[in-house]
Amino acid sequence: MATRSIREAIVNRRMLICVFTGFTSGLPLYILIQLVPGWLRTEGVGLAEIGFFTLVQIPYTWKFLWSPIMDRYTLPFLGRRRGWMLATQLALMASIAAIGFLEPAVSIWAVAYMAMAVAFFSASQDIVLDAYRRELLPDQELGLGNSIHVQAYRLSGLVPGALALILADHLPWHSVFLVVAVFMCIGIALTLSISEPVRDPGSPRTIRQAVIEPFREFIGRQGIRPALLVLAFLFLYKLGDNMATALQTPFFIDVGFSLTQIGSIAKTAALSAAIVGAMIGGLVMIRLPINRALWLFGVVQVVSILGFALLSEVGPNPWFLGFAVAFEYLGVGLGTAALTAYIARSTNKAFAATQFALFTALAATPRTLANAVTGLMVESVGWTNFFVICTGLAIPGMLLLFKVAPWNADD
């Protein structure tokens, strides 16, 4: 019985859908945090400017402001969830392609505006994809489904972080961005092939309900103080990790690796680690409670940051590059899988879009705001000390687990 239950949890259409939601959700973000910084660095833009460039990701931290609109209103095609999916995916394809035709040396502001448009459409796509996945997965499959989603999310980074960088050594940048934009067709194919989920009877019927009820329900269910602790935890759990990876591609360039080495060695290591992480995280979380996964995977996530600190001391060693990146993708991938499952568990299906948007926005805030100063930090203290500081910043989030996800508490 137990064996059949595990097999049914792994081999079903819902898990396949999670693969595609992860890929199409992660692709635009990795364009912003890997491809665009690498492009800007090769065009002679300074680290401080590239660090501040992360502010274009602000839509990820404010997406809960317009998520009630996407929860309440239905576009006149494909249904409430699928209609918004298709609209955001088409907008993403066009805006990603447009970035490559801009010239940072002529107008860095034009690049920033277009990158912010990509972030806005990406954040909007995340709202509806997260809500769809919450409505799709039964509670017992939240751990596995979100683990698969997260690993596919990270695997999508191979397109802008590996393929695109390798192509950039042989093609003009506008062609590179066009190739990457075409990969949004995977998300469009997903949208056209899935069915619209059954609407929860408690879903908001007015815009007032869509705005107020998600917050009232969450605070009423948790209590004010526990709710504030949960929100603080969501902000801090991945603070160190997000800051450590904010300037990943410029870091590899500064260490002395070529774009082809970064695209081949680093991303091959990332692919291998992501596959292993998906197998370990997904299978373990079938049986391991989400609380314990947050503890165990969080420890690996914190320690993995130190791999980059060692790489900055070792220098352009291809073998150590592969090790550091593999360790990072394994640790961070596991931590993200546990956090995403925790967020899904904390979400009421009736208000999936807005609550999921609020929680994931808090988790993304460090990536946008704190990361804006990472370039200045590196220029002040150097790469090695920077990664040591990031490790220390990861500790407070782990300490909050004593309150929000005790080891022995029932999930």
Q: Where are the domains of the chain?
A: 12-404
Residue 405: its pLDDT value, please? Answer: 87
Position 202 scores a pLDDT of 66
Which residues 6+ apart lie within 8 Å of 164 measured at CB?
Answer: 35, 176, 177, 179, 180, 263
Three-point CA angle 89, 212, 339, nearest 5°: 55
Give the span between the Cα atoms of 182 and 217, in whole angstroms: 40
CA distance 233 to 410: 18
Return the pLDDT at 86.
95
pLDDT per residue as tens, the chain (411 positions): 444 455 555 567 888 898 899 899 999 999 988 888 888 888 777 777 777 777 788 888 888 888 888 888 888 888 888 999 999 999 999 999 999 888 887 788 888 899 999 999 999 999 999 888 888 887 777 777 877 887 788 788 888 887 888 888 888 888 999 999 999 999 999 999 988 877 766 677 777 777 788 888 888 887 888 888 988 898 888 888 888 877 777 888 888 888 788 877 776 777 677 667 666 766 777 777 888 888 988 898 888 889 899 999 988 888 888 888 888 877 777 777 788 788 888 887 777 778 888 887 777 777 666 666 787 888 889 899 999 999 999 899 999 999 888 888 755
Domain with residues 12-404, CATH architecture: Up-down Bundle (1.20)
Length of the chain as a residue count: 411
E strand intervals along 234-286 = none
In this structure, which amino acid lies at residue 378? V
pLDDT at 98: 93
Can you give the pLDDT at residue 374? 80
Q: What does DSSP assign to residue 66?
A: T
Sign of CA dihedral 43, 46, 47, 49: negative
**Cα 324 to Cα 328: distance, rounded to the nearest angstrom:** 6
The pLDDT score that the predictor gives to residue 1 is 40
Encoded tokens for 120? 């806005």
Among 177, 137, 138, which residue's Cα sits nearest to residue 159? 177
